Amino acid sequence: MQKVQYQNLTWVDIENPSDKDITYLRENFDLHPLAVEEFATPTYRPRATKYSTCLYLTIHIPLYDREQRTTYAGEIDIILTSTHIITGHKKEIYQISEMMKKLQSGEGARKLHMGKTASHLLHRILNALVESCFPRLDHITRNLERIEAGIFSGEEKKMVHEISIAKRDVLNFRRTMMPQRAILESIIAQPGNIVAPDIKPYFSDLIGTNVRLWNMLESAKETLSSLEETNNSLLSEKINSKMNFITIFTVLFIPMTLYANVLGINVITPLADHPAGFLIHLSVMIMISIVTVIVFKLIKWL
């Protein structure tokens, strides 16, 4: 648990809340029992709930798993009162940790970020979380550029796997970002005793930032679909070329095989006693193959 205080405003951040932390919240803050209970309960659905003494928020932000090479949703629970902000999360959130360190280390930072109301500090926190999405989108863009280069350098088969990873990454990112606009709109709709009227336009600006992120995600999704279609076309063309070669190679040997089978029938073999019999039969087979090729050319199969 980390805590920072300035004047009458307090921010408490709890990583991986334990029973001891929940007891601390119950004993030291005038919070609705349901808000405290939900604070310790993971949820996959973002929400904004107004209780008699506080506003409870559950938001998800996109985090990146380097081992799995994909985005996943990091849950952040927020309890907002007129004088307190309490945040909780299962894993460390870099942006929150950095802001907490900044506030703890300098009086000037506390005055800047905590000099007004709790809703002003909430905006600072959410703004840092939303802005952190842009570097992740830049990473996705660079990944798409790498996939495009791989497609047109003859690595279509390898790019099938890379495209699948990128699609999962974009899908998880979109799933995480989709509900955020509704949460921000819920914050703006709160009465003035919870969310200061002068900070509401800044939350509206966050909605605009969220829309920009969504548009960039839509663009990445469309680009990825086009790259997948192009890669599949090139891969199919390569496979068709190989199959055409195998088919032609097989068809060319069918007349020769038939000729050899006819000679292998248990009857008198023509030219069996001739010194050059083998070479003659071999020449006939080659001529048959040449004629087959000429016929294929005439009917435009080659």
CA neighbours closer than 13 Å in the CB half-sphere of residue 70: 17
**Residue-wise pLDDT tens digits, 49-59:** 888 888 999 99
273 or 131, greater pLDDT: 131
> Quick one: tokens of 179?
């509900």
Tens digit of pLDDT for each residue in 98-110? Answer: 899 988 888 888 8
Pair 114, 12: CB distance under 8 Å: no
Q: Where are the domains of the chain?
A: 2-237, 240-298
- Give residue 129's pLDDT: 92
Q: pLDDT category, 267, cuts 50, 70, 90?
A: low
**Phi/psi of residue 88, nearest 5 degrees:** -140, 145
Q: What is the pTM of this model?
A: 0.78
Spelled out in words, what is the top-level CATH class assigned to the domain 2-237? alpha beta
Tell me the CA distances in angstroms from 301 to 64, 248, 252, 294, 296, one per residue in order: 52, 9, 12, 10, 5
Distance of alpha carbon 228 from alpha carbon 189, whole angstroms:
42
How far is 32 from 156, CA to CA, in rounded Å?
57
Give CA torsion, residues 89, 91, 92, 94, to 10 deg. Answer: -90
| Residue predicted with more confidence, 243 or 168 | 168
Q: What is the pLDDT of residues 176-205, one digit of tens each?
A: 988 888 899 999 988 878 888 999 999 999
pLDDT at 266: 60
Identify the pLDDT of residue 276. Answer: 75
Q: What's the pLDDT band for 268 if we cut at 50, 70, 90?
A: low
Q: What is the pLDDT of residues 224-266, one digit of tens each?
A: 999 999 999 988 888 887 787 777 777 777 877 877 777 777 6
Q: What is the mean pLDDT of the chain?
A: 86
**Quick one: which of 120, 133, 121 has its CA closest to 180?**
133
Contact call for residues 47 and 58 (beta carbons, < 8 A): yes
Instruction: Enter the tokens of residue 86.
Output: 């309490």
